[in-house]
Amino acid sequence: MENSRYAVDMIGDENTSSDSTDNSWMLSYLDVLTLLIAFFVLLLAMSEPKTDDDSTPAEIAQTGSAGSAAGSTTQAPLDQTGDVLPGGIGVLPEYNALLEGRTGETTPDAEDEGSNDDFDERIGDLENSLNSLSLQGVDAQPGREGLTLRIADNLLFASGQAELMYEGMMLIGQLTDFLNAFEGEISIEGHTDNIPINTPQFPSNWELSSDRAISVLRYLEYDGISANRMRAVGYADTRPLLPNDTPQNRAGNRRVELILREP
């Protein structure tokens, strides 16, 4: 019995030894696999895979430099600021440019151009606002100083007079809200034709043109326009619009102008 039991124990020992050997082999195999995976991961981390950017021509990559190496292809044309001129390839896309068709920083000329565009836009808005009033006899003309509102003298004054008629007051009154919405200065300028005047009240056209401008200014002040935004000027017949050679032309030269100057 003892020999038989011993024989069983030996068989058990052999099985245990075999299992141990098998487990050791599997552990070694897993170690090798782990090292291989770590090796490939390291290779992938150190590699630089090719992307679409690699196909970019050399001249684009060198955009903005003063020159290129000998034998390289021609660069896109540059302006004095280093920006690519229209038709070339810019550093920034066009929708990032501060001005249409340009890239990079703006130059003083570009800023002036932007200011002119803003000025023209504001003048256009003023014209549209004035046109919405549908005032007969009021002509709006944009100029270098601002918007000019031109009113024929017969809509405001009797012949040879500088006191506003009732119809003239109504016409000027319709401009009050429009002028209040404007933030700049208002120059009120009187003009006559070249026919001399010599009366106790108006020794010359200088007095007549000046008094007419003052009459309009006083009514605007009465109607709510701040006096410190306005001035009155008389030019007599020194700035005609038309030659004073026909009655129609002389009538066109007799006028009051409101010059709306930007603040």
Residue ranges per structural domain of the chain: 85-132, 136-261
- In total, the chain counts a number of residues equal to 263
First-residue to last-residue Cα distance in the chain: 123
259: how many CB neighbours lie within 10 A of its CB?
19
Instruction: Give the confidence band of 56 by pLDDT, cuts at 50, 70, 90.
Output: very low
Tokens representing residue 170 in the block: 């109504």
pLDDT: which is higher, 58 or 27 = 27
**Cβ contacts of 215 within 8 Å, gap of 6 or more:** 157, 162, 163, 164
232-258 confidence digits (pLDDT tens): 999 999 999 999 999 999 999 999 999
pLDDT: which is higher, 89 or 213 = 213
Q: Which stretch of 126-135, 153-162, 170-179 has the lowest confidence by average pLDDT? A: 126-135
Q: For position 202, what pLDDT does the model report?
A: 97
Q: Report CA-CA distances (Å) from 160 to 153, 169, 254.
A: 10, 17, 11
Using a pLDDT cut of 70, give the percent of the chain over it. 57
Angle at 72 between CA 66 and CA 78, to 5 degrees: 35
Give the span between the Cα atoms of 19 and 66, in whole angstroms: 75
Q: In what order do the strands lie in the sheet with 255-261?
A: 138-142, 146-152, 255-261, 185-191, 230-234
Give the span between the Cα atoms of 115 and 117, in whole angstroms: 5
**CATH superfamily label, 136-261:** OmpA-like domain (3.30.1330.60)
